[in-house]
Structures are given as structure tokens and as C-alpha cells.
């Protein structure tokens, strides 16, 4: 087995620390990836700190992985040594259920295998991208186009596809008015992608402190939700609202901003329940929905779209020893807009 350098959580309360982990031997359809960059997602923090339930420790987080193929199994046909590739939030699924057959492995009816903290096919717990190497089945590895640098591409494997998928599904396009709630790691990608799709984009943020950034990233309008007149002024405006924040918000207030047949889609995942009044939906035939990531096919489509439109994440590259500091800064909203670990600093 291959020994890889990594940064891991040993409990819900201790800082992440360096350790070595074992990667499985290559199977016939596996690829070995030398990880170059790994993004830090808010989900990583939720998971290692037990916000979404008990975790198995030690745990190596990271599901925004960009790297280079260094070895392939004997029956691999989709990737070759030297290919620039990415791995997102899942590394396997049943491949047989209706969702998998549709190319929506993220909704596998038997449960997709997460990139970290899940039971792998050999019975071990998967370990993620805060590491030097990873072994992944070729069907769950995507190609990173040459037009995208690996560091700005890494966050696309979660933040990019998490926002692209609902924007694609609910039809963000010319003539559509799209609001993005929150301008963070997810929100800034939503703005870029929705604008590239041709939609008229509005950012709804607590304050105007990031207004200049929002407009630079592609939004045409920017409003502070701390101002109660915002909700009066924008009532009945939007075809689609994408909520990217992982915090308590007044759903009923935001639903009032939807036009008839509009949809509000949650991609942020707060640990606490949200309260919803059904009469916020019935008048206007409105929809409140959720969305995860996309399937492998759609993830590749997203990467190709981003390459075509020159879209990468806004990042701050950090060495491994800054991971714990980065976690605290994410929680304090002190990053514009995604931390990316230079995995060369792990060894």
C-alpha cells in the first residue's frame, strides 16, 4: 500500500495535525493521483467538528481535489498518466439504481460514497484531499481542462458544482432574474456562473461591505438584507433564489421575493432546522427546494463551462500548517473567497 502525507482531525475538538495514512493498492479501474491543491470547504469544518453527526477519527477532510495522474490500473481507459484531473465530493456509488443510471450518482438510492468519512468498498473509511495522494475509481475522476489552473480549479469540485447544478436545473439563463443569498465560498461561484449563463444576478447579503466584489464578479445589483426596505423593494422579483449560507435566515421573508412560479433553492446546510410558513408558498405557486452537488457527467460539464468562460474560484493559497487558522477564518467569514491548500507543503 502507498503511504501518503496528510493533515487529519483526531477528534471533534482538537486541531488538525500532520499524519501519514495508507492508500489502497490500485485496482484494475483505479487511478493514483498526486494531489497538487485541495480546497477548504465549510462542510469540512462541519464534519470534523461533529456538527452533522458523529465522525470517525482520525479523519482527513477535503473534497475539492486537483492533481495529476501518476499511475493507472491495467483496465483504465478514461485517464492516462500525466492527465490533469479532479475529484469532488464522492468517490463511488452503487452504479445500478435509477439515480446512478441517470448520471446523478450524488442521489444514489443506496447512498453515494463520500470522498472522506464514508465506508469505502474495501470496508475502510475514506480519507480526503488534505493529503499528498489519493486512489480513486476512474469513473469518479474528472478532467480539468488546460484553460483552468489547478489551484483555482480545486474549489470548483464542490463550490462550483454545488452552485452550477441548481442554476442549470432551474434554468438560469438570459431573461431570468437570479438572486444569490450570501457572498462566500459558494456565493461567489454562484454569481460568476449565473452571470456567465446570462441571468440578471442580484446579491443579497447582510451588509454592503462586499458590494464592490459582488459587482466585479458579475452581479448587476447588490442589496443589504439588514435593511428592511430591501424586502419591500424586491417583493415578487426573482425567478430563482439560491441560498448559499449555512445559517438561520427568515425563509418566509426571502420567499416573498419570488415571482410567480419562482423557486428558492437551499445549498447552504445549517445544522439547525429552519422554520417555514406554508402560506409563503401557496400564493404564487412558489417552490422551496434543496440541491446537493451534481453527478460526474454534470461536474465535467461544469468544468468545461468554467474553462470556456474563464471562471475559476477566487482563492487564497495556504501552506498546510495554516489549515487550523483557515478554519477559524472561515467561521469568521474572513476569506475572499476560498482557501486552497498547497499540498506540496504536507511533506
pLDDT digits (tens, 9 = 90+) for 86-102: 999 999 999 999 999 99
Give the pLDDT of residue 246.
83
- Indicate the class that CATH gives domain 2-155+314-345: alpha beta
pLDDT above 90: residue 65: yes
The domain segmentation of the chain, as residue ranges, is: 2-155+314-345, 160-290
| pTM of the complete model | 0.94
pLDDT digits (tens, 9 = 90+) for 108-123: 999 999 999 999 878 8
pLDDT digits (tens, 9 = 90+) for 309-343: 999 999 999 999 999 999 999 999 899 899 999 99
Res. 1 pLDDT band, cuts 50 70 90: confident
User: What are the distances in angstroms from CA 29 to CA 77, 79, 121?
Assistant: 8, 10, 13
Average pLDDT of the residues in 9-21: 96
CATH classification number, 160-290, choose in 1.10.10.10, 3.40.50.720, 3.40.50.460, 3.40.640.10 = 3.40.50.720
Q: Across-strand partners of 122? A: none
pLDDT above 80: residue 247: yes
Give the pLDDT of residue 53.
85
Res. 125 pLDDT band, cuts 50 70 90: very high
Q: Across-strand partners of 265? A: 242, 289
Give the pLDDT of residue 120.
85
User: What are the distances in angstroms from CA 224 to CA 74, 136, 227, 275?
Assistant: 55, 43, 6, 22
Give the pLDDT of residue 140.
98
Unique residue bearing C-alpha cell 459582488: 214
pLDDT above 90: residue 248: no
pLDDT digits (tens, 9 = 90+) for 203-239: 999 999 999 999 999 999 999 999 989 999 999 999 9
Amino acid at each position: 500500500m502507498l503511504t501518503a502525507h496528510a493533515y487529519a482531525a483526531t477528534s471533534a475538538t482538537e486541531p488538525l495535525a500532520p499524519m501519514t495514512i495508507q492508500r489502497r493498492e490500485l485496482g484494475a479501474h483505479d487511478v493514483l493521483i498526486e494531489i497538487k491543491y485541495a480546497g477548504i470547504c465549510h462542510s469540512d469544518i462541519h464534519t470534523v467538528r461533529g456538527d452533522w453527526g458523529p465522525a470517525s477519527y482520525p479523519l482527513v477532510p477535503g473534497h475539492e481535489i486537483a492533481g495529476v495522474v501518476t499511475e493507472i490500473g491495467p483496465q483504465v481507459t478514461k485517464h492516462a498518466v500525466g492527465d490533469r484531473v479532479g475529484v469532488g465530493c464522492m468517490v463511488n456509488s452503487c452504479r445500478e439504481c435509477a439515480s446512478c443510471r441517470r448520471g446523478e450518482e450524488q442521489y444514489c438510492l443506496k447512498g453515494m460514497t463520500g470522498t472522506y468519512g464514508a465506508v469505502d468498498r474495501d470496508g475502510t473509511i475514506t480519507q480526503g484531499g488534505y493529503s499528498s495522494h489519493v486512489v480513486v475509481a476512474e469513473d469518479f475522476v474528472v478532467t480539468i481542462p488546460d484553460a483552468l489552473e489547478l489551484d483555482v480549479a480545486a474549489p470548483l469540485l464542490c463550490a462550483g458544482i454545488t452552485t452550477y447544478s441548481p442554476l442549470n436545473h432551474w434554468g438560469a439563463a438570459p431573461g431570468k432574474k437570479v438572486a444569490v443569498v450570501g457572498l462566500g465560498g459558494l456565493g461567489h461561484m454562484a454569481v460568476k456562473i449565473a452571470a456567465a449563463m446570462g441571468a440578471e444576478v442580484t446579491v443579497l447579503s447582510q451588509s454592503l461591505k462586499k458590494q464592490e466584489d459582488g459587482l466585479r464578479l458579475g452581479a448587476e445589483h447588490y442589496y443589504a438584507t439588514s435593511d428592511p426596505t430591501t424586502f419591500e423593494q424586491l417583493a415578487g422579483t426573482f425567478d430563482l433564489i439560491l441560498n448559499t449560507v449555512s445559517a438561520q435566515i427568515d425563509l418566509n421573508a426571502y420567499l416573498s421575493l419570488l415571482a410567480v412560479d419562482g423557486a428558492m433553492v437551499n445549498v447552504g446546510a445549517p445544522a439547525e432546522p429552519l422554520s417555514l410558513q406554508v402560506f409563503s408558498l401557496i400564493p404564487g405557486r412558489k417552490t422551496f427546494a434543496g440541491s446537493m452537488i451534481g453527478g460526474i457527467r454534470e461536474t465535467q460539464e461544469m468544468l468545461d463551462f468554467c474553462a470556456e468562460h474563464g471562471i475559476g474560484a477566487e482563492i487564497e493559497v495556504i501552506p498546510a500548517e495554516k489549515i487550523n487558522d483557515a478554519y477559524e477564518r472561515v467561521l469568521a467569514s474572513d476569506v475572499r473567497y476560498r482557501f486552497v491548500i498547497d499540498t506540496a507543503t504536507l511533506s
